[in-house]
């Protein structure tokens, strides 16, 4: 997490001072199942950088007469997208680009079993994992006003997930190629 924060600050400071006349905006989005926050910086009219961060906490409780489970998941990570304008008008832009993302996964779980005429049995554990994603994307951006834009995108790429199964220390490893990097969001420009 500290490495991602340092990288974000270095990019934001160096990109922010590169050319003060270019557009810089804060973006908020929903990408591939997680909320994101970051910024979009148009280095030149046809080229933009979009670093962003994500953070998500989930608590799940389920069970039956003989079993209960409590699961708390914490996910956080960052991504960097490079966006190149393919065509544009004053209000509408179609772009393509590439993205890289890394997300840390952490789970804390507790299972309890209740068998008739026996003492309850419980197990607890902590699991960690990560997801690495890279891909190509195509998207659009609509400028509602000079300071506010909407965007949507879809992409294709590769993702590798080393994820805890949250059951007695077992692990799941997934490698996937297909549609990803899909998302929607909005940008508030500050200049």
Kindly indicate the confidence band of residue 57, based on its pLDDT and cuts at 50, 70 and 90. Answer: confident
Whether the CB-CB separation of 122 and 113 falls below 8 Å is answered with yes
Give the pLDDT of residue 188.
96
State pLDDT tens for residues 96-122. Answer: 999 999 999 888 878 888 777 777 778
Task: Extract the tokens encoding 9.
Answer: 């600050």
Whether the CB-CB separation of 97 and 84 falls below 8 Å is answered with yes
Question: What is the maximal distance between C-alpha atoms in the chain?
Answer: 75
State pLDDT tens for residues 6-22. Answer: 444 444 444 433 333 58
Give the pLDDT of residue 165.
59
pLDDT at 185 over 80: yes
pLDDT at 127 over 50: yes
Kindly indicate the confidence band of residue 26, based on its pLDDT and cuts at 50, 70 and 90. Answer: very high
Q: Smallest Cα–Cα separation from 44: which of 17, 15, 24, 22?
A: 22
pLDDT at 131 over 60: yes
Residue 45 neighbours by CB distance under 10 Å = 11
Whether the CB-CB separation of 73 and 110 falls below 8 Å is answered with no
Task: Extract the tokens encoding 103.
Answer: 């997300």
Q: How far is CA 75 from the centre of its chain?
A: 9
State pLDDT tens for residues 133-164. Answer: 999 999 999 999 999 999 999 999 998 988 76
Give the pLDDT of residue 67.
79
When the candidates are 1.20.950, 2.40.160, 1.10.3470, 3.20.20, the CATH number that belongs to 2-189 is: 2.40.160
Give the pLDDT of residue 126.
80
Calpha distance 40→38 (Å, rounded)? 7
CA atoms within 13 A on the CB side of 126: 2
The C-alpha torsion from 14 through 19 and 20 to 24, rounded to 10°, is -70
Give the pLDDT of residue 157.
92
The pTM score is 0.73
């Amino acid at each position: 997490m500290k490495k991602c924060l340092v990288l974000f600050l270095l990019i934001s400071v160096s990109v922010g001072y590169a050319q003060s006349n270019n557009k810089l905006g804060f973006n908020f989005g929903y990408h591939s199942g997680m909320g994101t926050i970051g910024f979009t910086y148009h280095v030149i009219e046809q080229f933009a950088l979009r670093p962003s961060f994500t953070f998500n906490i989930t608590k799940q409780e389920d069970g039956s007469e003989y079993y209960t489970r409590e699961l708390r998941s914490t996910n956080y990570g960052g991504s960097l997208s490079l966006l190149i304008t393919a065509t544009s008008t004053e209000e509408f832009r179609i772009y393509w680009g590439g993205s890289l993302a890394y997300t840390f996964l952490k789970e804390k779980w507790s299972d309890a079993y209740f068998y008739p005429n026996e003492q309850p049995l419980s197990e607890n554990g902590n699991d960690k994992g990560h997801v690495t994603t890279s891909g190509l994307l195509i998207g659009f951006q609509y400028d509602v006003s000079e300071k506010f834009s909407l965007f949507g995108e879809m992409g294709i790429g590769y993702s590798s997930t080393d994820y805890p199964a949250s059951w007695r220390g077992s692990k799941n490893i997934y490698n996937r190629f297909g549609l990803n990097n899909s998302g929607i969001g909005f940008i508030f420009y500050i200049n």
